[in-house]
Amino acid sequence: MAERLTDIGPPKYDMFWPQVIKENAGKWLYHDILEPGVLLHVSESGAKIWSVRCGATRLMTTMMVEEICKIADQFCDGHFRFTTRNNVEFLVVDQAKLEPLKKALAAHGSLPVGGTGACITNIVHTQGWVHCHTPAIDASGVVKAVMDELFEYFGSHKMPAQVRISLACCLNMCGAVHCSDIAILGVHRKPPVIEHTHVDKMCEIPTTIAACPTAAIKPAKVDDNKSVAVNADRCMFCGNCYTMCPAMPLADADGDGIALWVGGKVSNSKSMPKFSKLAVPFIPNEPPRWPTTVKLIKQIVEAYVAGANRYERLGEWAERIGWERFFEKTGLEFSHHHIDDYRFAATTWRTSTQFKW
């Protein structure tokens, strides 16, 4: 047997570049979004590359990849890429192939062109019920339902600015939703149910206790089993104990659902990056199409479109008009859950008489 190959790392980044990129990397002069989903980049050398961006499902099959490959072979000399938000980009070097490519994509039917500029691009998301063990919600299904409703905004430039929606199916936030214009977050609302007969077998008790951010977990003896007890008053359902200890599941049909967060951003353009803030504390899981979630997101998006200045991100809009006005404009309810009570809570209190009626 040949020596086992390890630690070779990924292929070098330029291996898959089209020739025009090899020649012009670092020399690009400007870009122009010719129409939604179609980018042109022009080099100092005069060289050009067109990129056609298409929505994709992220969770896909090898059949789908093969279809993408076929299109790329036909119009892009076999070159394509994925964006950081799970869209596919077909890289066109020969301008003559641009229109035929767009036709082929339209014919394909599952590769909608868009996701550029002042749009709602693809939703960054996580595993949900398709793979993970800790989710409070599904991921792919919610994304599908929401994107169906917002579809017109994907392939157009109708938003005041770019809107980035992200989804994470539990507080671990693998989707890094904490800095998104709109975040869809799976939340549990019941403390773990403890399998006392197995805690000591399946878990390291001290690590489990240490894992709780609010110190809600104490060692306990239950029916002669070494186990733990959870102080339900201190539990905020983060699921961190379950991560450490499989004998403490949180998932519950009635307890679990969706929270919506708004106004985060990552870019440093104009305003500094912002965390997303709580908009809707809880919406029950409503598979298969999560109608309340979809409706409330639409409500937020429409209030934003109606109220924001051009070039103003959602969080910039909310801060300009004030959060009291945000709740009014979106028709969302403000409840005690919106008031922070975690570590930096006091820094969010309003220490001024400045507010609006």
The number of residues in the chain equals 357
Q: Alpha carbon of 129 to those of 37, 141, 142, 144, 172: distances in Å? A: 31, 9, 11, 14, 15
Cβ neighbors of 335 (< 8 A, separation 6 or more) are 281
Residue 273: is the preceding peptide bond cis (ω within 30°)? no
CA 230 and chain centroid, separation: 31
Q: Does 277 bind ligand SRM (CB under 6 A)?
A: no
Residue 321 binds which of ligand SRM, other proteins, a second copy, none (CB < 5-8 A, kind-dependent): other proteins
What whole-number distance in Å separates Cα of residue 12 and Cα of residue 14? 6
Which positions from 252 to 281 touch a second copy by CB under 8 A, shown as an x/- string?
----------------x---xx--------
Q: Does 296 bind ligand SF4 (CB under 6 A)?
A: no
Which positions from 111 to 150 touch ligand SF4 by CB under 6 A, shown as an x/- string?
---------------xx----x-xx---------------
φ/ψ of residue 254, rounded to 5: -85, -30
Q: Does 200 bind other proteins (CB under 8 A)?
A: no
Size of the site for ligand SRM (CB under 6 A): 31
Q: Which is nearer to other proteins, 103 or 270 (CB)?
A: 270
3-state SS assignment for residue 22? helix
Q: Give the pair of three-digit tokens for residue 99.
A: 């229109």
Neighbours of 93 (CB within 10 A): 17
Rg over CA atoms, the chain? 24
Q: Does 161 bind ligand SF4 (CB under 6 A)?
A: no
What whole-number distance in Å separates Cα of residue 244 and Cα of residue 232? 18
Residues in 280-319 that interact with other proteins by CB under 8 A: 281, 285, 287-289, 310-311, 319
What whole-number distance in Å separates Cα of residue 323 and Cα of residue 315? 10
Q: Which is nearer to a second copy, 96 or 346 (CB)?
A: 346
**Pick from 110, 207, 231, 267: which binds ligand SRM (CB under 6 A)?**
267
User: DSSP class of residue 355?
Assistant: -
**Pick from 97, 102, 188, 265: which binds ligand SRM (CB under 6 A)?**
265
Residue 19 binds which of a second copy, ligand SF4, other proteins, none (CB < 5-8 A, kind-dependent): none
Alpha helices in 150-216 (DSSP H): 151-154, 196-202, 205-211
Q: Does 239 bind ligand SF4 (CB under 6 A)?
A: yes
Stretch that binds other proteins, among 94-102, 144-152, 297-305 (CB under 8 A): 144-152
Q: Does 216 bind ligand SF4 (CB under 6 A)?
A: yes
Residues within the interface to a second copy (CB under 8 A): 268, 272-273, 343-344, 346-347, 351-354
Residues within the interface to ligand SF4 (CB under 6 A): 126-127, 132, 134-135, 168-170, 172-174, 191-192, 211-212, 214, 216-217, 230, 235-241
